Structure 1
Amino acid sequence: MKNLEIAWTLREISDLLRVKGENRFKVRAYNNAARSIKKLKEDITTLRKKEVLTEIPGIGENIAKKIEEILDTGRSVYLDELREEVPPGVLSIISLPGVGPKTAGLLYEKLQFKDLSELMVLAKDGRLRDVPGIGPKTETNILKGIEKLKKNMEHVPHGLARVSADIIFELLSSFSLISRVSLAGSMRRGKDMVGDVDFVAASDNSHKVMEILGEHPHIRELDIFHDNRAKAFTNLGTKIDLQIVKEDKFAAVLHRSTGSKKHFQQLSALGNKKGINYDGNSILKNGKEIIVSDEEGIYSAFGLPYIDPELREGAGEIEAAKNNSLPDLVDIHDLRGDLHTHSTWSDGHGTIEEMVQEAVKMGYSYLAITDHSQSLAVANGLTVGRLMEQWDEINYLRKKYAPFLILRGIEMDILRDCRLDYEDEILAKFDIVIASIHTGFEQNKEAITERLITALENPYVDIIAHPTGRILGRRPPYEVDMEKVIEKASKLGKTLEVNSSLDRLDLNAAYVRMAKEAGVKIAINTDAHGKTGLRDMEYGVMTARRGWLEKNDVLNTLDSQELLSHLSRNRVGVR
């Protein structure tokens, strides 16, 4: 937990510096440090004792001293000073459409709002357009953005919930009083935003289990609602729901607690036709209880094959199971490489060689280095001259690590006016080109959609990255006609991305399934900015599975030669 707290502190410093308009390199330094610490596998207090803080990628002496201060005192004087300089309401709105740091400061100066709710009232009253530079269109976009953010306030991103889930799972798994324990609910189904973290445990001593749970330092508050059920709140604000049952009820309760309400209703309706009564606690057939030891046994009682947790949304999986047409879901071991990664050449904190070494260690066959393009100055985007220098390094490393394949790639910005960030004569020299939007989120649906479609129509663009631009819990998706984008990608044989970063998980599962049905290939990538980020692939796979993807639907399940042939096919007649 300490790692996450430090990362959050550094991220807030970065955000506040950005609001103040500070030097972009300073802003990026704190952001990279936060990202690096968030990905650490070892506790930062241990690294401090070893006196190796400055060996963490992105941590220099100055930031290391601030980390030590936080560890010693529980606070950062520098952060406190920044908070004094930047009004609290400003930081909460800089991710809204049409609101950058300058606009946020101006809105606060003129309207003196306290929070999002107050700004929402002002927007509904038409008061925002009284501020210079804010017209009716921008006001409407801001209001829509606030409504989307407020809608998600009762839920937290999967990544944040995962921190608490891992801590509590490790605790419960260590209890000798518990024979079995499992995640359940929306976390187990892999939803990108979750209300609470559900657990089901098997034990004969529920009171003792809940007593020990309530004493854990990660638990802020524990409420016991029934003899076998408790709700808890963690120090991170995550809600925990623990249900403790007898061993012989574990499978049924776990199943009921995992699937959505629709999934359970559809399964129960099927059971009624077969003379089966299933209440989520026990299964009765002709009045006699069927004892099951696992979830496979539950589905078998209904005459169905096992349905993976990610599919249990009541979205056609029961019918598919009846017809024996469930997808053979993609598995993380099917992936042969990562096609979206960054290095120290732009805003990453791992060298190309470090990224390659980690990919080799993971058993991959290839890795695409896709640093940012020249217009994204805040991310140290590559000019054409720097590209040539980077390619010299890649060519050297290709020889050193052969037969491992290192692809010369780029994450190229799609500019506001639909132009791409490099001319075609440069794009033709890349092995792989990813296009994405990093600016102009406030544009309307037609403009954003046109930008993405224009990029797809370029013969050198292979993949559209994080296609809806969302940052979970912080920035809503921009307005875009994804059906139109998917249709164009299908027509042109282009690929869309599932970005595995826990901040994004973009495309979402619904669009992934829509893309599959349209015959569009999906690339599951990490967008890693350091070697530990390459391990985030499991979350992209989780989202892909929720979208019913199979191995053949995923671009980076191809081997090296198949991948190169596919990329070349998109360029037939062009080079």
Structure 2
Amino acid sequence: LRSRVAPLANELMEALKKTGHVQQITVAGSFRRGRDTVGDLDLLAVSDHPSAVMQALVDRSEVAQVLLRGETKTSVRLTMGLQVDLRLVPPESFGAALQYFTGSQAHNIATRRRAQLAGLKQNEYGIFRAEEQIAGATEDEVYQALQLPWIPPELREDRGELALAEQGRLPNLISPADIRGDLHNHSTWSDGAATLSEMACAARKRGWEYLAITDHSKRLTVANGLDEHRLRLQLEQMEEVREGLKGFSLLSGSEVDILEDGSLDLPDSILRELDVVILSVHSKFNLSREKQTTRILRALDNPYSRILGHPTGRLLLTRDPYEVDMERVLEGIRARGCFVECNLNPHRLDLDDRYLARAKALGVPVVLNCDGHSVTDFQHHDDGILQARRAGLEAGDVVNTATITELRNRLRATKR
């Protein structure tokens, strides 16, 4: 998982910097492109003392095996099984190497083809006209030599980004600073680790304007789901908590189980009182594609439905998505005026980037939610937002970039 590799990457880079012989260092590869899972870790550096830097890597306690050691490249396998490749390049080629080793391979093939059409040669050392290097020190230089603006790494998958760049139509990708709140969170009322007050205060401290508490519904007994009576008690407590939250909005909600027949786990009589109703599949993952699709669409027919949560049910590296016609589901969400969630829990990242891009193309509003079960889970936005960036999402594509006034209007508009 990317989330497991991220702190390790930072730790390794800091350790190599401490040698005093590293002038530049960064991560390349699929990690830099924001992929949800990482096969290996590519580090790229400029050094005035290669042997000292390579020695610092192989001496790390996490290294289980040295696969290759040289003056320009060293590869090691860590005890956790991850391969780390460290490449040293001259400063005049750092940008070219970074562009090359960031990939993707398909993107690089497309840029090399573009270079050839312009009478240039592109490789990891730079861009050349005949034998003269005309670019290479920075990525900006490389793309400028190709008559293109710099392309964000998350978009480099050869999915039309070169054409967009050439036309001056690259998206202004969303960033964590655009997020004003989160609409999917749990408290100690169900399976969360923090109280309503603790969650709200931590969200306000983060700089957010609002937070929705959407504890599980009654069917999910393993998560201490709430029945109608307990949910009403929670709403009463929420009113008390709000009194101490000046300038911050604590929204009521529920993550309601979608039952096998598409009905919901809570009655309309309580759902109509909530600000946010998330519909989620937590059971019967093995239904046929047609039955699962029909089940979800029927649930979305409920007039109080707002958001479809973690829409494919996947758990990265442990559980495949259930069979569902996501095209029909996305069209159904649009037709009903609802929103689709990108769940930023690092084990989910659901929807994936391709379906998120499809949602954008269809005009389906996306909600970026951390599925917070503790105050530290708000950090899922910092890394998880890369999933949205890979899909080309901009702030305007995402519901929870809205102010609280705008958000309340949008939530009311989804009531049918």
Q: TM-score, normalised by structure 2?
A: 0.97
* Pair 1:384 & 2:259 matched: no
Deviation for aligned residue 1:532: 0.4
Counterpart selection for 1:318 from 147, 153, 162: 162
Q: Which amino acid aligns with 2:348?
A: R
Counterpart selection for 2:284 from 407, 423, 440: 440
Deviation for aligned residue 1:540: 2.5
| Correspondence for 1:481 | 325
| Correspondence for 1:167 | 11
Counterpart selection for 2:112 from 254, 260, 268: 268
| Correspondence for 1:81 | none
Indicate if the aligned counterparts of 1:252 and 1:280 stay in contact, CA closer than 8 A: yes
Secondary structure at 1:340's aligned position in 2? coil
Q: Where in structure 2 are the equivalents of 1:159-198 lying within 5 Å?
A: 159-198=3-42
Q: Which runs of 5+ in 2 are unaligned?
A: none
**How many angstroms apart in 2 are the aligned matches of 1:560 and 1:175?**
48
Indicate if the aligned counterparts of 1:436 and 1:465 stay in contact, CA closer than 8 A: yes
| Correspondence for 2:385 | 541
| Correspondence for 1:216 | 60
Indicate if the aligned counterparts of 2:262 and 2:297 stay in contact, CA closer than 8 A: no
Secondary structure at 1:191's aligned position in 2? coil
**How many angstroms apart in 2 are the aligned matches of 1:254 and 1:172?**
18
Deviation for aligned residue 1:467: 0.5
Indicate if the aligned counterparts of 2:44 and 2:86 stay in contact, CA closer than 8 A: yes
Deviation for aligned residue 1:382: 0.4
Deviation for aligned residue 1:226: 4.2
Aligned Cα root-mean-square deviation (Å): 1.2
Q: Where in structure 2 are the equivalents of 1:104-143 lying within 5 Å?
A: none
Indicate if the aligned counterparts of 1:164 and 1:234 stay in contact, CA closer than 8 A: no
| Correspondence for 2:398 | 554
Indicate if the aligned counterparts of 2:32 and 2:102 stay in contact, CA closer than 8 A: yes
Deviation for aligned residue 1:160: 2.5
* Higher Cα radius of gyration: 1
* Pair 1:458 & 2:302 matched: yes
Q: TM-score, normalised by structure 1?
A: 0.71
Deviation for aligned residue 1:175: 2.9
Secondary structure at 1:434's aligned position in 2? strand
**How many angstroms apart in 1 are the aligned matches of 2:181 and 2:50?**
45
Indicate if the aligned counterparts of 1:182 and 1:201 stay in contact, CA closer than 8 A: yes
Secondary structure at 1:341's aligned position in 2? coil
Deviation for aligned residue 1:357: 1.0
Q: Which amino acid aligns with 2:234?
A: Q
Change (3 A) 1:280 1:557: same
**How many angstroms apart in 1 are the aligned matches of 2:329 and 2:39?**
30
**How many angstroms apart in 2 are the aligned matches of 1:250 and 1:203?**
11
**How many angstroms apart in 2 are the aligned matches of 1:457 and 1:245?**
57
Deviation per CA, 1:295-324: give whole Å up to 9, x if none: 111111111111001000111001110111
**How many angstroms apart in 2 are the aligned matches of 1:363 and 1:222?**
45
Q: Tell me: higher relative CO, structure 1 or 2? Use CA pairs within 8 A at least 6 residues apart.
A: 2
Counterpart selection for 2:339 from 472, 479, 495: 495
Secondary structure at 2:8's aligned position in 1? helix
| Correspondence for 1:246 | 90
More helix by share: 1
Secondary structure at 2:367's aligned position in 1? strand
Deviation per CA, 1:504-539: give whole Å up to 9, x if none: 111000000000000001100100100000111123
Moved more, 308-317 or 215-224: 215-224
Q: Which runs of 5+ in 1 are unaligned?
A: 1-156
* Pair 1:469 & 2:313 matched: yes
**How many angstroms apart in 2 are the aligned matches of 1:268 and 1:233?**
31
Deviation for aligned residue 1:162: 2.3
**How many angstroms apart in 1 are the aligned matches of 2:372 and 2:174?**
21
Deviation for aligned residue 1:286: 4.1
Counterpart selection for 1:285 from 129, 135, 147: 129
Counterpart selection for 1:348 from 181, 192, 196: 192
Deviation per CA, 1:338-375: give whole Å up to 9, x if none: 11111100000011111111111110000000110010
Runs of 4+ in 1 over 4 A off after TM superposition: none
Counterpart selection for 1:370 from 207, 214, 217: 214
Q: Which amino acid aligns with 1:342?
A: H
**How many angstroms apart in 2 are the aligned matches of 1:165 and 1:481?**
37
Indicate if the aligned counterparts of 1:499 and 1:525 stay in contact, CA closer than 8 A: yes
Secondary structure at 1:202's aligned position in 2? strand
Counterpart selection for 2:179 from 296, 318, 335: 335
Secondary structure at 2:66's aligned position in 1? strand
Q: Which amino acid aligns with 1:445?
A: R
Deviation per CA, 1:413-453: give whole Å up to 9, x if none: 10112110111121111001001011111111112111221
**How many angstroms apart in 2 are the aligned matches of 1:175 and 1:421?**
58
Indicate if the aligned counterparts of 1:204 and 1:245 stay in contact, CA closer than 8 A: no
Moved more, 356-365 or 274-283: 274-283
| Correspondence for 2:252 | 408
Indicate if the aligned counterparts of 1:501 and 1:539 stay in contact, CA closer than 8 A: no
Secondary structure at 1:520's aligned position in 2? coil
**How many angstroms apart in 1 are the aligned matches of 2:138 and 2:302?**
51
**How many angstroms apart in 2 are the aligned matches of 1:291 and 1:176?**
27
**How many angstroms apart in 2 are the aligned matches of 1:163 and 1:238?**
13
